[in-house]
Structure 1
């Protein structure tokens, strides 16, 4: 199976070489990498050039600087890279970040998982971050969810679900939609991916605004959005946090901001969230 790997990169001169080196060192060699330079003002283009000049499997495109919006910016860059390729030539479509280090057998293990299990639609490893000199499990999500920095999709699944959505929450929307279509999302726990840079450090949006917008663009109805908001408020032990999230959600709703998912897909999202609620909270 052949891999198409799209890597959006914005000001990643300190990290990108680690990612590209780990790809060159993969035991599986049948891949193409497209690095999308998303308006970098540092030496990111120079870093990429060292690889494209020496290895024909590496390509790059350059975009103009765009506004940094959580979720939508990175998917926009990903799509620009994808448009330069004929995806029919590949069996596996990957969206990787520019600040990860893959184990040497990463692509090989993902390929074997897809070959052995025709119902697998999305496969990935687990993220690890460095703390006090040790690499430890990131722990920001459950161990059954493939995180945004290391997504690998079976092409048929990717096409069937309409690709990635240019919106906040895209890396949860994909999981829900592929499950709705009968595909499986699988985490291979022995594949440890090192994350060099902590995500969210460069977001300027306030946490309450983030969650309110996230729940809105995820397509949650008011009831489920309020339940999700109360959960985040309980985590932070701040009742006011609940009202701030709700205020952000209702602001999006009153403005009727465009959603990137259809009515049918919104129903699939809410149905999935309702099943999770009944299973975890109501024990049904």
Structure 2
């Protein structure tokens, strides 16, 4: 299978070489990489040039700096990169981050999984972060969900779901839509991807404003949004956190901001969330 790998990058001069070096070292060689330089103000462009000058599999797209919007910024950059390529020339479409280090057999294992399992639509490994000198599981999601930095889609599944959405929550929306279309999302736990991040940073801690906005753009109805808000507040053991989240959610509802999913897709997402709620909480 032939891979198209698109990597959005903004001010990643320190991290990007680790990502690109790990891809050059892959045992699987049939891929093309498009690095989308999203208005970087550092030396990201110079870093990219070192690879595009030496390896014909590497290309770059330069964008003006886009406004920072969680989810939408990175997807916008991804789409700009995708527009420069003929998707029909590839079998697998990857959205990778610019601050990860892949094991040398990553693409080989992904290729084998797709070829051996025609029902697989989305495949990826697990993210690990450095803690006290060791690499440990990130734990920011369940181990059955392919995280945003390491997405690999079968081309047919990607086309059927109309690509990824330029919105907060896109990396959950894709999995739900693919499942509804009959495709499987599969994590290969033996593939450990190292996520480079600033020491002391905890990406699992997010403000109430974020969750309210996330639940709105995910398309959750009020009942499910309140349940999800309660779940997040319970983690923090804070009643006030619950009210802040639903306050944020209701604020976005009042504004009636445009969702990047259709009404039918919104129904699919709510139905899937309800089924998860029944299985995990209600034991039905």
SS of aligned partner of 1:281: helix
Counterpart position of 2:214: 214
1:127-151 CA distance string (max 9 Å, x none):
0000011000101110000000000
Structure-2 separation of matches of 1:234 and 1:136: 25
Aligned positions of 1:1-284 closer than 5 A: 1-197=1-197, 207-284=207-284
Distance of aligned partners of 1:206 and 1:194 in 2 relative to their CA distance in 1, 3 Å threshold: closer
Q: Distance in 2 between matches of 1:86 and 1:157?
A: 16
SS at 2:266 equivalent: helix
Query: Which segments of 5 or more consecutive residues in structure 2 lack a partner in the other structure?
Result: none
CA distance in 2, matches of 1:83, 1:165: 15
Deviation at 1:197, TM superposition (A): 1.7
How far does the alpha carbon of each residue in 1:89-126 deviate from its partner, in whole angstroms, 9 at most, with x for none? Answer: 00000000000000000000000000000000000000
1:48-101, Cα deviation, whole Å (9 max, x unpaired): 000000000000011001111110000000000000000000000000000000
- Contiguous gaps of at least 5 residues in structure 1: none
Q: Matches of 1:258 and 1:221 in 2, distance apart? A: 15
SS at match of 2:282: coil
Note the aligned Cα RMSD (angstroms): 1.5
Q: Which is further off, 152-161 or 189-198?
A: 189-198
Shift in alpha-carbon separation, 1:10–1:202, aligned structure 2, 3 A: farther
Q: How many residues align?
A: 282
Stretches of 4+ aligned residues off by more than 6 angstroms: none
Deviation at 1:206, TM superposition (A): 6.5
**3-state SS of 2:65 partner:** coil
Q: Which moved more, 1:149-158 or 1:206-215?
A: 206-215
Q: Distance in 2 between matches of 1:4 and 1:224?
A: 36
- What is the distance in 2 between the residues matched to 1:198 and 1:23? 22
- Residue by residue over 1:26-60, the C-alpha shift from the partner in whole angstroms, topping out at 9 and shown as x without a partner, is 00000000000001000000000000000000000
SS at match of 1:14: coil
TM-score, with structure 1 as normaliser: 0.97
Aligned-partner Cα distance in 1 for 2:232–2:195: 25
